[in-house]
Structure formats: structure tokens, C-alpha cells
Structure 1
Amino acid sequence: MTSPAASPQNFRDRLRAFNKCVCDGARLMVGQGDYGTYVAHITKTHPDQAPMTEREFFRNRENARFGVGNTSGFRCC
């Protein structure tokens, strides 16, 4: 008899959660935030503002990462 902690479904759920964690960490390492987290934050803390589209969010994060609009020149970090 298998315990509930060792069930195949539980294992798949835990593996899926681990995979999401690894992917989110990799995105953060390269400066790419999570759009879903951003939307949840804007919705909760700034209900009067419309969140950026996913494309706008991606462009915003890329610009911040590479210093676009920074008057002191290129900035990678």
C-alpha cells in the first residue's frame, strides 16, 4: 500500500512545482520577471492602474535590463 505522500499524482504535482520554481529562478537570473506575478501585484496594490500587456511588460523588463533610456550610457547590471 502506498502512502498519500508517495502517490503518482502527488509526485507529478511536486515535480511540476519544482519545475516552475527552477524556471522562475532562471528567468530572474537573466532579468526577466514573471508576468503573472506582475499582474497579481498591480491588481492588488494599484487597482486604479491597468497592467501592461505581456508584450509591454517584456519590453519594459528588457529596457530596464539593458539601460535603455539611461543617460549615463550602456548598463548591463
Structure 2
Amino acid sequence: MAHGCNVGYTPVIGSGDALKYSRLSHVDQTYLRLATYRAANATLIDYQASIPLAQAWGGGLVASVDGMRFVVLVPSV
């Protein structure tokens, strides 16, 4: 949450041991680095390619951020 929402550790620190500042910092420094992101991303991409719906929509190479358009039946922002 701290990285995903770009808010730092303070808002996600909790009363449990797993959410102490020192623990969050340790996990960040130990596990959240380029090599682990690459490994996780490769695993997710490989799995996505095996999903039939992803194959029907371009083999897992197309995402909503790639400009796919969906019809919205009501006016919206």
C-alpha cells in the first residue's frame, strides 16, 4: 500500500508486528527490488498467456491501458 498509493510507511503502520515501521522497511529493502519485480512480472505474464479470455483478446499482449475501448451505455465522466 505504501508504494502503490505513494504515501510512505506512516499511513500503513499498524498495531501488529507485521506492520511496524522497522518490518515494513526491512521488507522494502530486502524484497522490493528490480530483480524480484522482474521475476514476479514474468510469472504473471506467463500465467496470463494461458488464460483463454486473454488469448482471445490478443494472447495477453493487450491491456485496457493499451487503448482498448469499452462502450459505456450511460453518460459519464
TM-score normalised by structure 1 residue count: 0.30
Higher relative contact order (CA 8 A, sep 6+): 1
* Higher helix proportion (structure 1 or 2): 1
